[in-house]
Structure 1
Amino acid sequence: MNFLFDNNLPPSWAATFVAASQRKFPAAWLADVHHLREKFPAGTPDVFWMEALEREMPWTIISGDSFRKGQGAERRAIRAYGLSVFVLQASWAAMPYWAKLAQFSLWWPRIVELAGTVKGNTVEVPWRLSSGFRTR
């Protein structure tokens, strides 16, 4: 599985989690991890890069964006292209940077394990681990 952190998350997170994950997951679970800006120019419309990722399947997107803009074009693209998307719930936005990084590190193994099973869906990642994932 390939993972892409979008522009709503810090570019350093991709490098952080790929480094932290080496030798922790089977190679088939974690093939490649990038930040959006490593693969596409800044400002590339969501639907464009989603379509491009579809040609390089399988990809999982990690986002702080709810993909509700553009009259649903992004959500239709997620379904049509069979992308797995994990969206941080709105409650994450109010948290300080280091708290977000620490909390995401607790969610990361669960995201990696679940990524291949949610194709064409968006899964909300709540702040609290006890809340569990919610598919939208």
Structure 2
Amino acid sequence: MKVFFDNCTSPTLASTLHGFISHEGHSAVHIRDVQGLPKGRSSADVEWLDFLRRSNDAWIFISGDGRVLKNPAERAALRSAGLHGFILAPAYQKHPLHQVASIILWRWPEIVQVAKLLAPPSMHEVPINKTARLRPLPL
């Protein structure tokens, strides 16, 4: 499985998660490091969603921007891409980067479980509270 981090997240999160999951055969990459995107890091959400959809790899994405669910074109792209998406709760913006990274690592087994058990597309919010469960979001 490959994990895509969009522009609303720090590249540090992708490299941290990659270091943690690479021994399991997974990888994580930030949008700035993805080759083949139409406009590179400046690609719109619908463009990178289409890129991931056309890929032969199994992708999930992590975003810090819940507004992707409010734009009709982006919602349609999310549904047609057939991906599992994980949106960081707004509270993440108020926490230092090292704490955000630690919570994503803490949540990794739960994220993998959701991706294995549910048929895509699916969207979940990742709460900041370590004891709270991932919250399903409507697509």
Same fold (TM over 0.5): yes
Counterpart residue number, 2:109: 109
Cα 1:104/1:119, change in 2 over 3 Å: same
Counterpart residue number, 1:43: 42
Return the TM-score normalized by structure 1: 0.85
Q: Which amino acid aligns with 1:127?
A: I
Task: Kindly report which structure 2 residues correspond to 1:1-136, keeping only aligned pairs within 5 A, or say none.
Answer: 1-23=1-23, 25=24, 27=25, 30=26, 32-39=27-34, 40=37, 41-56=40-55, 57-66=57-66, 67-69=68-70, 71-116=71-116, 117-136=118-137
Moved over 4 A (4+): none
Q: RMSD of the alignment, in Å? A: 1.7
Pairs aligned (count): 130
Where does structure 2 lack aligned partners over 5 or more consecutive residues? none
Where does structure 1 lack aligned partners over 5 or more consecutive residues? none
Percent of residue pairs identical: 30
Q: Which amino acid aligns with 1:48?
A: E
Q: Which amino acid aligns with 1:18?
A: H
Return the TM-score normalized by structure 2: 0.83
User: How far did residue 118 of structure 1 move?
Assistant: 4.8
CA contact (8 A) 2:16 2:101 kept: no
